[in-house]
């Protein structure tokens, strides 16, 4: 029971932080936070919000694809296909997390699930994900990302690290 509560707290905390950050951004641009609608009817993109440093901006972009805008070529069916695939992946992760995961896997899988659910909410609401963190060097910009993306990447990194350490321990 304690494991379930702490894992769910992490997942819901990530979802809340992610949705609040995106909601504040939408509010600053539109003066309101739409509950749903077509991404492109809410605001056009890209939209420079603030130049923070020589290497970091706050921007507003819609990402209709996946990481690094993959699957954009699917056109109008992309959001539905991505929602279905993401739903299955999240379901698998949650099932594994609550039935078979070791203690070391709890945090990484909770980070991944929370981040994926945060982005899934955007896809269901708008058909695209809100991205706003823009790191760049001169004219080269890393693809914009959000809080949910950070949680997914950190979760995957921790999961790989845990796997490597466990494998190394078994070899000795």
pLDDT in tens, 131-151: 999 999 988 888 899 999 999
The whole model's pTM is what? 0.88
Cα separation of 123 and 126, whole Å?
A: 5
Are 133 and 86 in contact by the 8 Å Cβ rule? The answer is no
Verify whether residue 122 is a known catalytic residue: no
The residue assigned the tokens 């796997």 is: 163
Per-residue confidence band for 170, with pLDDT thresholds at 50, 70 and 90: confident
Q: Which has the closest alpha carbon to 82: 112, 133, 122, 115?
A: 122
- What pLDDT does residue 33 have? 72
Please identify which of the residues 18, 122, 131, 134 carries the catalytic annotation. Answer: 131
Are 128 and 64 in contact by the 8 Å Cβ rule? The answer is yes
Q: Which has the closest alpha carbon to 25: 13, 36, 34?
A: 34
For the segment 64-83, the average pLDDT, to the nearest whole number, is: 71
Are 22 and 132 in contact by the 8 Å Cβ rule? The answer is yes
pLDDT at residue 14 is higher than 80: yes
Tell me how long the chain is.
Answer: 172
Q: Which residues pair with 62 in a beta bridge?
A: 130
Mean pLDDT for all residues in the chain: 87
Of residues 128 and 147, more confidently modeled: 147
Of residues 166 and 30, more confidently modeled: 166
Count how many Cα atoms sit within 13 Å of the Cα of residue 166 in the half-sphere of its side chain.
10
Q: Give me the domain span that covers residue 48.
A: 2-171
Per-residue confidence band for 13, with pLDDT thresholds at 50, 70 and 90: very high
- What pLDDT does residue 141 have? 86
Please identify which of the residues 18, 122, 134, 149 carries the catalytic annotation. Answer: 149
Percent of the chain with pLDDT over 70: 84
- What pLDDT does residue 107 have? 97
Domain count for the chain = 1
Verify whether residue 54 is a known catalytic residue: no
Cα separation of 74 and 64, whole Å?
A: 10
Cα separation of 62 and 122, whole Å?
A: 10
pLDDT at residue 171 is higher than 80: no
- What pLDDT does residue 139 have? 85
Lowest mean pLDDT among 36-50, 121-135, 139-153: 36-50
Are 145 and 112 in contact by the 8 Å Cβ rule? The answer is no
């Amino acid at each position: 029971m304690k494991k379930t509560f702490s894992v769910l707290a992490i997942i819901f905390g990530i979802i809340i932080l992610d949705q609040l950050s995106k909601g504040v951004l939408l509010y600053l641009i539109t003066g309101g936070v739409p509950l749903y609608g077509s991404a492109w009817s809410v605001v056009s993109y890209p939209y420079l919000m603030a130049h923070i440093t020589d290497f970091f901006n706050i921007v507003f972009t819609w990402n209709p694809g996946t990481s690094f805008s993959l699957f954009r070529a699917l056109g109008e069916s992309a959001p539905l296909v991505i929602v279905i695939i993401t739903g299955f992946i999240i379901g698998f992760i949650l099932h594994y997390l609550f039935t078979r995961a070791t203690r070391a896997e709890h945090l990484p899988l909770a980070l991944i699930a929370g981040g994926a659910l945060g982005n899934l909410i955007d896809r269901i609401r708008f058909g695209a994900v809100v991205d706003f963190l823009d790191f760049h060097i001169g004219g080269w910009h890393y693809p914009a990302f959000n809080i949910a993306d950070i949680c997914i990447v950190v979760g995957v990194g921790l999961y790989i690290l845990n796997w490597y350490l466990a494998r190394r321990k078994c070899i000795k």
